[in-house]
Structure 1
């Protein structure tokens, strides 16, 4: 065997391994959330997703935190809605906990707060999250830029609604209801009393 053959033979394993190395991707980042329900004080703080899949145990804890605040009824929360909240937070460079004024609602509770009859809260796929005036514009832009689910902005009440339903927008957002593919959105939460729990926490 001549020198040329020996050299090619030595390089072959490197050449063969290069495509395999090129196709390797970094492991997806784990996702962490800190949530607190304004009305009940229930809290979740930890990893809920390992970067590949939702942790069922963590999702069960989150569902308990986001239970109906009037009755305590727990409904398995839609992990897509949780992902939307997490992603919006990442885009907006959110720091600290998310203070939630409304998660899952029973039909009775939904009626008491004047929620829409087809509210995503009834499906445990919507969250109303308190956002300060200083963070409102940035968080709104982040949520709308995702083009995922519904985004309702209630600037005077100090919170944003996020859900995993059809893409749409309403409230204090630029451009009004979203694109032609979505029907004109009726304000999902007129909220005569939806912010009372949050307001009460601020006066303690």
Structure 2
């Protein structure tokens, strides 16, 4: 019975998603002034690509107050520790922060994901190579990501992330990326 309810939600939700995308596309610019962390409206979408694996994900993952399980599973796999091919359940709040940040930047270019979930072995290896990798990183908890956009500066991405007040935001100008997480609100860099 539960799977039938989920499939009905998915079918109904996907039809609504297509209608919602058209409405969001036609919405005036001032619609982006909503005070939200979660994303815009009744539909949430995430667009990411990985230059390391060549993979990408462009999916609607939330409709009318519900996370879509197959979409979240796809996101979890995409954001895996690719060095060890280890998948973790990403915190949905992180995906919301990423989607809301992207929405504020008003671009169709997907975020390039540099790092999502990390195993402790990967995190330790990265720590041994240089500074800037926290021993108790939110990446270990599947609550952080490092992203960039070719079309936007580190500062503009960070401003968009900070505006959502969804967690930590770190600027890494030299490496050209922004760290976003769903931990306590704080900034650095």
TM-score (norm 1): 0.67
Residues 158 and 168 of structure 1, relative CA distance in 2, 3 Å threshold? same
Aligned match of 1:136 in 151, 154, 158? Answer: 154
How do residues 125-204 of structure 1 correspond to structure 2 at under 5 angstroms? 125-132=143-150, 134-171=152-189
Structure 2 counterpart of 1:105: 118
2:81/2:119 contact within 8 Å kept: yes
1:148/1:167 contact within 8 Å kept: yes
Aligned match of 1:63 in 54, 68, 76? Answer: 76
Q: Which moved more, 1:75-84 or 1:108-117?
A: 108-117
Aligned match of 2:44 in 31, 36, 39? Answer: 31
Which consecutive segments of 4 or more residues in structure 1 shift more than 6 A? none
Structure 2 CA distance, aligned partners of 1:167 and 1:56?
27
State the 1:61 CA deviation: 0.4
2:145/2:181 contact within 8 Å kept: yes
Stretches of structure 2 lacking an aligned partner (at least 5 in a row): 1-40, 128-132
CA RMSD of superposed structures (Å): 1.7
**Corresponding pairs, count:** 145
TM-score (norm 2): 0.72
- Rg bigger for which structure? 1
Structure 1 CA distance, aligned partners of 2:50 and 2:76?
11
2:148/2:154 contact within 8 Å kept: no
1:132/1:158 contact within 8 Å kept: no
